[in-house]
Amino acid sequence: MKVLAVETSCDETGIAVVEGSARHPDTGGIDFEFKTLRAALLSQAHLHAEYGGVYPNLAKREHQKNLPLLFREFEKEEVDAIAVTYGPGLEPALWQGITFAQDLAKKWQRPLIPINHMEAHLISSLAQEGRLENIKLPVLALLVSGGHTEFVLMKEWFEYEVIGETLDDAVGECFDKVARMLGLPYPGGPEISKLAEKHRLQEESSRKGPRVSPPVPFLRGREAGPDHLLKDTSFRLPRPMLTSKNCDVSFSGLKTAALYALRGKKLTEKERAAFAREFEDAVTEVFVAKTRRALEETGTQTFVIGGGVAANKHLRESLQNLITKEFPDVEFRLPELSITGDNAVMIAQTALARLLSGKQKENGAEIRAVGNLSIAA
């Protein structure tokens, strides 16, 4: 079965054709193989850079311009269904994909399948090397992107319960805002990550090298907030909600703390790297603590992360460490980097997973963009 998918929820325009098949159809379980036959993706991130975030009307205009350009490669495809992201995301952007997919479905006389963008992050992260197989339920997913941050529990296939989420900003947004404060380009997540990594490596090599003077402890004042910006490269940011007895997170306080800490300061390159590292450490520590709690509370068998921030190396390694040391019976599914950011392959895979298991949503002649669509809807 082949699906052509369209993704326009944010600042990436994507079209992809994916072929899916049930590997052991007689068993009736979820055991699918996906093969990407063609995929095209155009990022507008550079255009939004001067706004420091995605500017909805610009995104809409760009999708409108890019969809027909990308589609040229797909004109001769023959598929069984068309899938499109209908939320969550920026509504003006979503509408571009929806109307394009509706026109195509009419022209090609194929069913149109509406897909939830966050579900697609989850399902595509679960599929390893194009295979959705041997997955033990319940699955716990940590979905971390520019617009969302949530712990999602899947006890039955395609049924989701949000067991924790951000009370304010999404973590990706926080990465982007703090990056901007540090004078780094949009999208800031990968930039912060690079700087933080540089600082870790420097610290490691100076620890290994000859010691001329006793080292200055990097972390001081564990409870320090915005007023405790220390001299040199020792910054300390808060770990919001680290000990709260639920799986919720919050990042607006961290963002404000970063703002105060940096206000009026001109950082050296080394200090900037130290700051990026402290920020990344703060975010990661919160996720490690909340993941531990979520795993303890749910009896999860499979843990997966998805969304743009799931590309973060430090977060990936720290969560891997947690699972290996404390939850050796839980299987951790780490998404390939090529699938963490927004793309149409994940939309096609999700549509195929639903179609092949007979769980697709209704045919979407009346599909509407739903900006705040929940994965549990």
Q: Is 147 in the site for ligand KG4 (CB under 6 A)?
A: yes
Query: How does DSSP assign 243-275, residue by residue?
Result: T-SSS-B--HHHHHHHHHHHTT----HHHHHHH
Main-chain dihedrals φ then ψ at residue 110, nearest 5 degrees: -130, 155
- The token pair at 141 is 């997913």
Q: Is 350 in the site for ligand KG4 (CB under 6 A)?
A: no
Q: Is 20 in the site for ligand KG4 (CB under 6 A)?
A: no
Nearer residue to ligand KG4 within complex by CB, 77 or 91: 91
Q: Is 190 in the site for ligand KG4 (CB under 6 A)?
A: yes
Residue nearest to Zn ion (CB): 145
Rounded to whole angstroms, the Cα distance separating 142 from 298 reads 13
CB under 5 to 8 A by kind: which of Zn ion, ligand KG4, none does 139 bind? none
Q: Which residue has the tokens 């969302």?
A: 148
Give me the least distance between CB of 56 and ligand KG4, in Å please: 13
Give me the least distance between CB of 342 and Zn ion, in Å please: 4
Query: How does DSSP assign 344-371, residue by residue?
Result: SHHHHHHHHHHHHTT-PPPP-TT----T
The beta strands (E) that lie in the chain are given as 2-7, 12-22, 32-43, 81-87, 112-116, 131-132, 139-144, 149-156, 159-165, 302-306, 331-333
Q: Is 238 in the site for ligand KG4 (CB under 6 A)?
A: no
Q: Is 146 in the site for ligand KG4 (CB under 6 A)?
A: yes
Quick one: which of 165, 127, 129, 144 has its CA closest to 314? 144
Give me the least distance between CB of 10 and ligand KG4, in Å please: 5
Q: Is 300 in the site for Zn ion (CB under 5 A)?
A: no
Nearer residue to ligand KG4 within complex by CB, 13 or 145: 145
Rounded to whole angstroms, the Cα distance separating 100 from 15 reads 11
Rounded to whole angstroms, the Cα distance separating 228 from 129 reads 46
Residue 342 counted as an annotated binding residue: yes
Q: Is 284 in the site for ligand KG4 (CB under 6 A)?
A: no
Choice from 6, 342, 353, 373 touching Zn ion (CB under 5 A): 342
Rounded to whole angstroms, the Cα distance separating 272 from 284 reads 18
Q: Is 342 in the site for ligand KG4 (CB under 6 A)?
A: yes
Residue 24 counted as an annotated binding residue: no
Q: How many residues bind Zn ion (CB under 5 A)?
A: 2
Q: Is 176 in the site for ligand KG4 (CB under 6 A)?
A: yes
Choice from 66, 125, 145, 149 touching ligand KG4 (CB under 6 A): 145
Nearer residue to ligand KG4 within complex by CB, 133 or 197: 197
Rounded to whole angstroms, the Cα distance separating 95 from 81 reads 19
Q: Is 14 in the site for ligand KG4 (CB under 6 A)?
A: no
Q: Is 150 in the site for Zn ion (CB under 5 A)?
A: no
Q: Which stretch binds ligand KG4 (CB under 6 A): 73-81, 94-102, 197-205, 309-317?
A: 309-317
Q: Which stretch binds Zn ion (CB under 5 A): 45-53, 254-262, 309-317, 334-342?
A: 334-342
Q: Fill in the amino acid letter for 14.
A: G
Residue 152 counted as an annotated binding residue: no
Rounded to whole angstroms, the Cα distance separating 48 from 259 reads 22
Q: Which residue has the tokens 């460490």?
A: 321
Rounded to whole angstroms, the Cα distance separating 12 from 272 reads 29
Three-class SS state of 141: strand
Quick one: which of 199, 217, 90, 71 has its CA closest to 147? 90
Rounded to whole angstroms, the Cα distance separating 295 from 126 reads 17
Nearer residue to Zn ion within complex by CB, 280 or 342: 342
Where does this chain bind ligand KG4 (CB under 6 A)?
10, 145-147, 172, 175-176, 187-190, 193, 307-309, 311-312, 341-342
What residues are designated binding site for Fe cation?
117, 121, 342
What residues are designated binding site for substrate?
143-147, 176, 189, 312
Where does this chain bind Zn ion (CB under 5 A)?
145, 342
What residues are designated binding site?
117, 121, 143-147, 176, 189, 312, 342
